[in-house]
Amino acid sequence: MRLNVTVNGRPRQADDVWPGESLLYVLRERLGLPGSKNACEQGECGSCTVYLDDVPVCSCLVAAGQAEGRQVRTVEGLAEGDRLDPVQQSFVDAGAVQCGFCTPGLVVAAHDLLRRTPRPSDEEIREALAGNLCRCTGYEKILDAVRTAADAS
Of 15 and 41, CB closest to ligand FES: 41
Phi and psi at residue 145, to the nearest 5°: -60, -45
**100 is a contact residue toward ligand FES (CB under 6 A):** yes
Q: How far is CA 136 from CA 96, 97, 109, 115, in A?
A: 9, 8, 18, 26
Furthest C-alpha separation in the chain: 46
Rounded distance between C-alpha atoms, residue 144 and residue 85, angstroms: 16
Sign of CA dihedral 69, 29, 142, 146: negative
Choose one: 7-15, 41-49, 62-70, 87-95; the region binding ligand FES (CB under 6 A).
41-49
Identify whether the C-beta of residue 48 lies closer than 8 Å to the C-beta of residue 36: yes
Binding piece for ligand FES, criterion CB under 6 A, among 1-9, 80-88, 94-102, 145-153: 94-102
Interaction of residue 120 with ligand FES, rule CB under 6 A: no
Site for ligand FES contains 139 (CB under 6 A): no
Q: Return d(Cα 101, Cα 37) in angstroms, integer.
A: 6
Closer to ligand FES at the Cβ: 47 or 148? 47
Q: Does 45 bind ligand FES (CB under 6 A)?
A: yes
Listed ranges 27-35, 85-93, 107-115, 132-140: which one lies at the site for ligand FES (CB under 6 A): 132-140
Interface with ligand FES, residue 71, by CB under 6 A: no
Whether the CA torsion 73, 78, 79, 80 is positive or negative: it is positive
Near ligand FES by CB under 6 A: residue from 1, 79, 92, 99: 99
Q: Which residues bind ligand FES (CB under 6 A)?
A: 38-41, 43-48, 58, 60, 97-102, 134-137
